[in-house]
């Protein structure tokens, strides 16, 4: 139906991010810059890398490195939020990360994970560590072959009865002024096979073994330059989705680091680990918002082109109903991601299980949107003629990345039950 009569209600106001109003000038400008970068740089490079063999995709001179060179000129690294109050920082970060997710979620994670060591170094305030990380591609080395979901357990009651915290395959021993690291990461470390610096988030022995009296493991966060003696890499992983993101094992053989490279040790590890994980969960929620919108926009455009039974798909009521449901989900994911980000930055006591619930909600709803958007294409949605099939594969990876969806909801449910039992929530 044409909206040309004078009686028709005008269209509502929308921004690049959909139904948004009240963005500041700075926010609109940042969103526009990143949107353009996402459209002109991230999408073409992401699609090219998706079709390349992983053995060549991340080699020197590949489009992967062109992306990082171009991204470095945007000035949107962790320093960009310095000086903003927490609420403004949460808003700006939400807009920027969602646009990057709209561009390519694999490259967006390469960029985000790439900043993790620098974020840790900046928080420590240590100029030596900041210099060590600045201008380098980083990675976050947390999971291992024998320590996946169980690395995310924060309370002893969540473990199987009698079980101790899992030590895993990669550990640090603090001996005098040195840290000695041995073992291997999982194959899933984002940027793992190409990163220049890493943030270790692993179990540690401070001289009394790996466990405390409750059976919890001691942990540490250590900045590690990945060109030191004893570090080697696995081959880039061959995988279903997020193929623009290089992933692979990192091996440590008697790697010796000065103790001053540790930015979290026995007493402050839990809280710093929780905050780093909460940051990652928030970013993943924004990425889901961007990816959901990208898929929905493709479906919306397609239904306005494809004719069946003599009518455009978009003129059929069933299609309009499906578009309405998906469009509402796109807005709900965005709202939840921003709520989680705002709460995490402004709450006097944030919690990574709440952030995890946000990530699980946003990524699982996003998967529904991407899946149903592909469905609106019919058979052609399965082919490489349209980018929707790539978005579907990328979306699939996000159901496991940074915590598998069921596990994250389980942690949140555990927290709610404990809070209720203690009279901290829900007993008004
Ligand atoms: C795209 C991507 C990027 C990633 N990036 C990084 C990174 O940068 N750094 C990093 O360190 N890691 C990274 N990871 C790893 C990721 O965090 C893990 O894959 C994830 O936490 C799940 O661990 P797992 O693969 O070992 O699965 P598992 O823990 O083995 O889980 C397998 C299945 O068992 C279920 N399960 C596990 N425990 C329980 C339980 N107690 N009760 C009931 N069911 C259970 C899970 O729900 C899941 O369905 C990445 C993964 C992906 C896919």
Which residues approach ligand 1 with their CB closer than 6 A? 113, 140-143, 148-149, 186, 188-190, 242, 397, 400-404, 406-407
Q: How far apart are CA 371 and CA 421, in angstroms?
A: 38
Considering only CA atoms, which residue is closest to atom 2 of ligand 1? 401
Q: How far apart are CA 185 and CA 317, in angstroms?
A: 51
Domains in the chain: boundaries: 25-123, 137-267, 271-421
CB-count burial class (<10 Å; 0-12, 13-18, 19+) for 164: middle
Q: What is the distance in A from the centroid of ligand 1 to the CA of 179? A: 27
Q: What is the distance in A from the centroid of ligand 1 to the CA of 396? A: 13
pLDDT at position 4 is: 57
Q: What is the mean pLDDT of residues 342-351?
A: 96
Per-residue pLDDT for 5 more than 70? Answer: no
CA nearest 302: which of 384, 238, 362, 388?
388
pLDDT at position 1 is: 52
Q: How far apart are CA 33 and CA 28, in angstroms?
A: 9
Per-residue pLDDT for 406 more than 60? Answer: yes
193-229 residue pLDDT tens: 999 999 999 999 999 999 999 999 999 999 999 999 9
| Phi (first) and psi of residue 65, to 5 degrees | -75, -30
* Nearby residues of 280 by Cβ (< 8 Å), 6 or more positions away: 112, 116, 140, 402
Q: What is the distance in A from the centroid of ligand 1 to the CA of 114? A: 20
Least-confidence region, from 74-88, 199-213, 253-267, 311-325: 74-88
CA nearest 185: which of 231, 219, 228?
231
387-402 residue pLDDT tens: 999 999 999 999 999 9
Q: Which of 138, 185, 186, 188 to mutate to test the pocket of ligand 1 (most atoms within 8 A of CB)?
A: 188
Q: How far apart are CA 190 and CA 347, in angstroms?
A: 29
Per-residue pLDDT for 7 more than 90? Answer: no
Contact 154, 244 (CB under 8 A): no
Q: What rounded mean pLDDT belongs to the chain? A: 96
Q: Which three-class secondary structure state does DSSP give residue 76?
A: coil
pLDDT at position 428 is: 73
Q: What is the mean pLDDT of residues 178-182?
A: 98
Per-residue pLDDT for 422 more than 60? Answer: yes
Q: What percent of the chain is modeled with pLDDT above 90?
A: 95
Q: How far apart are CA 56 and CA 49, in angstroms?
A: 9
What class does CATH assign to 25-123? mainly alpha
Q: Which of 110, 148, 237 to mutate to test the pocket of ligand 1 (most atoms within 8 A of CB)?
A: 148
Per-residue pLDDT for 416 more than 90? Answer: yes
Concatenate the DSSP letters of all residues of 270-331 into one string: HHHHHHHHHHHHHHHHHHHHHHHHHHHHHHHHHHTT-EETTEEGGGSHHHHHHHHHHHHHHH
Beta strands (DSSP E) in 116-261 are 138-141, 170-175, 178-184, 197-205, 219-225, 231-233, 250-258
Q: Which of 401, 403, 409 to mutate to test the pocket of ligand 1 (most atoms within 8 A of CB)?
A: 401
Q: What is the mean pLDDT of residues 42-66?
A: 98
Q: What is the mean pLDDT of residues 4-23?
A: 91
Query: Is the fold of 137-267 the same as that of 271-421?
Result: no
Q: What is the distance in A from the centroid of ligand 1 to the CA of 143? A: 8
The vertex-174 CA angle with 169 and 176, nearest 5°, equals: 155
pTM of the model: 0.97
139-152 residue pLDDT tens: 999 999 999 999 99
Residues 271-421: name the CATH superfamily: Butyryl-CoA Dehydrogenase, subunit A, domain 3 (1.20.140.10)
Instruction: Tell which CATH architecture fits domain 137-267.
Output: Beta Barrel (2.40)
């Amino acid at each position: 139906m044409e909206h040309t009569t004078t009686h028709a209600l005008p269209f509502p106001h929308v921004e690049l991010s959909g139904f948004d109003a009240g963005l500041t000038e700075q926010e609109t400008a940042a969103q526009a810059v990143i949107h353009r970068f996402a459209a002109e740089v991230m999408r073409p490079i992401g699609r090219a890398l998706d079709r390349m063999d992983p053995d060549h995709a991340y080699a020197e001179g590949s489009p992967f490195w062109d992306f990082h060179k171009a991204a470095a000129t945007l000035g949107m690294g962790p320093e960009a939020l310095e000086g903003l109050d927490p609420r403004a920082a949460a808003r700006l970060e939400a807009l920027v990360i969602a646009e990057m997710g709209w561009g390519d979620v694999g490259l967006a994670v390469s960029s985000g994970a790439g900043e993790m060591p620098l974020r840790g170094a900046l928080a420590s305030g240590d100029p030596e560590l900041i210099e060590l990380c600045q201008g380098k591609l980083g990675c976050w080395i947390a999971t291992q072959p024998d320590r996946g979901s169980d690395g995310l357990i924060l309370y002893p009651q969540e473990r199987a009865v009698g079980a101790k915290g899992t030590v895993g395959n990669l550990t640090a021993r603090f001996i005098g002024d040195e840290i000695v690291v041995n073992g291997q990461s999982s194959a899933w470390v984002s940027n793992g096979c190409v990163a220049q610096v890493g943030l270790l988030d692993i179990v540690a022995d401070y001289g009394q073994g790996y466990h405390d009296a409750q059976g919890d493991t001691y942990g540490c966060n250590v900045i590690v330059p990945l060109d030191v003696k004893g570090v080697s890499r696995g081959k880039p992983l061959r995988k279903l989705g997020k193929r623009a993101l290089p992933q692979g094992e990192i091996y440590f053989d008697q790697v010796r680091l000065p103790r001053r490279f540790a930015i979290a040790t026995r007493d402050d590890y839990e809280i710093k680990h929780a905050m780093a994980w909460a940051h990652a969960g928030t970013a993943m929620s924004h990425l889901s918002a961007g990816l959901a919108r990208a898929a929905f926009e493709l479906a919306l455009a397609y239904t306005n082109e494809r004719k069946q039974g003599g009518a455009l798909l978009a003129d059929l009521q069933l299609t309009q109903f499906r578009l309405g449901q998906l469009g509402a989900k796109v807005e709900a994911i965005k709202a939840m991601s921003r709520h989680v980000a705002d709460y995490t930055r402004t709450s006097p006591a944030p919690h990574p299980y709440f952030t995890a619930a946000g990530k699980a909600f946003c990524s699982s709803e996003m998967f529904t949107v991407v899946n149903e958007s592909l469905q609106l294409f019919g058979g052609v949605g399965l082919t490489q003629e349209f980018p929707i099939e790539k978005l579907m594969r990328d979306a699939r990876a996000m159901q496991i990345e940074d915590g598998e969806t069921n596990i994250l909801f389980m942690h949140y449910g555990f927290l709610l039950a404990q809070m209720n039992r203690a009279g901290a929530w829900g007993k008004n």
